[in-house]
Amino acid sequence: MDHLVKVREAHEKGLLPQDMLDLIKERFNLVESGIKRIEAASGTPYPISYVEPSAILSNSGNMSFEYGVLFARTLPVFFEEKFQVVIQISAPLVAFGLKGTIHAILAHEFLHYLELVRKISKMELLSDEISGNLFENVYADSTRLFEPRAVFDDKTLLTHITKKFPTGFKDYKLEDKTEKLWIARGLPVTNITLDTNTVKLSAESLSKVVLDPALLGKIKEFEERESKLRKRKLY
């Protein structure tokens, strides 16, 4: 798969200048190395991913000026009646993010992917919770994921995740660069409300999902590791 196909299309349409296309192409190796690192640290293939050629801004949808920048999203999609989970990576993350930040965000979305598949396998995901503001959404985001230590055996990667996601992702330098070097330049922006960033699948859709037995086996391993980690905390 060409991860940069949408970026090239945006450039061809005149939406993305040559200098930004070159920067994204030059720095995409940080994404590739992050994906390889996550696969090695988890023993599990990374899902389909692509770079979205826009800054993704999320607001509460209540006429508030409060908004947050989303640097990646985990999206369930049905294509030709086949279920897939796709990781959408924002172009500003690739263009301006530090290596540790990029790897931490990719790992975080990988945890979302595992949790999504886990819920679907157990028919738990008929509709996800919707939060009324960005703070509540950050809290909910951090409470429905696998414990990273149960999934990854890369200590440096775990440190990146812990530093970047203590109570939800925050990187002021990256957000500042996105504001000044992307949004202020009039480059593409996608605005979404929080309820469009939640997962909603009907019972009919869930009944058609076919999941990889090998992936379900790995998720079972992660659940067992997580259970052992929780017992250690208790005792």
**How far is residue 128 from each of residues 23, 114, 203, measured CA to CA in Å?**
36, 15, 13
pLDDT, tens digit, 9 for 90 and up, residues 130-185: 344 433 344 345 446 889 999 999 999 999 888 766 555 678 899 999 999 999 99
Q: Is residue 33's pLDDT more than 90?
A: yes
In terms of C-beta distances under 8 Å and separation of at least 24 residues, what long-range contacts does 4-9 make, across chains too?
Answer: 4/28, 4/50, 4/51, 5/50, 6/50, 6/51, 6/52, 6/53, 7/51, 7/53, 7/91, 9/53
Tell me the per-residue pLDDT of 65-108, one tens digit each, with 9 for 90 and over.
Answer: 456 888 999 888 876 667 788 999 999 999 999 999 999 999 99
- Report the predicted TM-score, pTM, of the whole model to 2 decimal places: 0.85
Please give the mean pLDDT across all residues of the chain: 83
